Homo-oligomer: A and B are copies of this chain.
Amino acid sequence: MDIRLSGVTKIFEPDIVALEDVYLSVDSGEFLYLVGMTGSGKTTLLRLISREYAPTRGQISVGDRNLRKLRQSELPYYRREVGVVFQDFKLLQNLTVFENVAFVLEAMGIPPKLVEGRANEVIDQVGLWRRRFLKPPQLSGGEQQRVAIARAMVNSPSVFLADEPTGNLDMRTSEEIMRLLLSINAAGTTVIVATHDQHLVDSYRQRLVELHNGRTKRDERRGRYFVDGEL
C-alpha cells in the first residue's frame, strides 16, 4: 500500500513541535530509510502512520484509507495491515517468544494449526528457534529485538514500519535482519525503516529521507548516511 502525508504537523502539549509541515509520498512496494538525529521526529512519524498518534494538522492516507476518517471499530483491522517494530519492542512480558508471535495471528481468529506453522517459520527466520519457549525478560536485548521483528512480520502486513530494528544488534546479525527486510520488501510490502545504523544504510543503499527538527531535510533516491551538516 502507498503512504501519503501532506502538510503533517504534530505538536505535543504544550509546545513541542515534533513534526512540522511534512510532505512524504511512499509508493506501494517501496523501501525507505528514515534517518535523523535523536529527537528529530522519526518515531513520531511512524506512530502517525500506525495511527497511534493523530496529527495536529495535515492529512495522512494509507492505501485508500484516509486516517482521519478511520472509525474506531476499523482501527484493529487497519493495524493488522501495518506491521510495526516498536523502538522499545513492546513485547508481552508474560508470554513466551512463540506466544508473543502467535498472538497476532490468534487475535485474527486463525486456527491453531495454521498459527503454529506460520509462527514457527518466522521465529526460525529471525534465528530464535532455540529460544522460542523463553520469555522476554530471559532474552538478550538483540533477541528481544528480533522477537519484535518476527511479531511485526508474522501476518504478512502490507506496510512494515521498523523503528530502529537493529539498535541492539551486532553488525552481522544486523545484516541478516536487513536481508530479511529486503526480502519482505521484495514480496511487495512497503517498508519504512527508521535507523541510526550508518553501516546498514551505506551498505544497502535505498531511498533515504532525513528529518531535522521535525522537517524533511533530504529525500534521496540512493542516499548515504550523514546527518545534519556532516561531510
Residues of B within 8 A of A146 (CB): 38
Pick from A106-114, A117-125, A135-143, A154-162 the stretch touching chain B. A135-143
Interface presence of A199 (CB below 8 A):
yes
Given contacts A138-B12, A141-B87, contact A168 B38 (CB under 8 A): yes
Establish whether residues A142 and B39, one from each chain, have CB atoms under 8 Å apart when the complex forms. Answer: yes
Establish whether residues A227 and B38, one from each chain, have CB atoms under 8 Å apart when the complex forms. Answer: no
Residues of B within 8 A of A171 (CB): 196, 198, 225, 227, 230
CB distance from A142 to the nearest CB of B (A): 3
Partner of A37, one of B35, B170, B227, B228: B170
Partner of A36, one of B36, B143, B170, B198: B170
* Complexed CA–CA distance, A37 and B166 (Å): 12
Residues of B within 8 A of A167 (CB): 141, 164, 167-168
Interface presence of A172 (CB below 8 A):
yes
CB distance from A23 to the nearest CB of B (A): 22
Interface residues of A in 29-62 (CB under 8 A from B): 35-39, 42-43
* Complexed CA–CA distance, A150 and B164 (Å): 22
Establish whether residues A170 and B140, one from each chain, have CB atoms under 8 Å apart when the complex forms. Answer: no
Interface presence of A24 (CB below 8 A):
no
Establish whether residues B141 and A227, one from each chain, have CB atoms under 8 Å apart when the complex forms. Answer: no
Given contacts A38-B170, A170-B37, A198-B171, contact A164 B138 (CB under 8 A): no
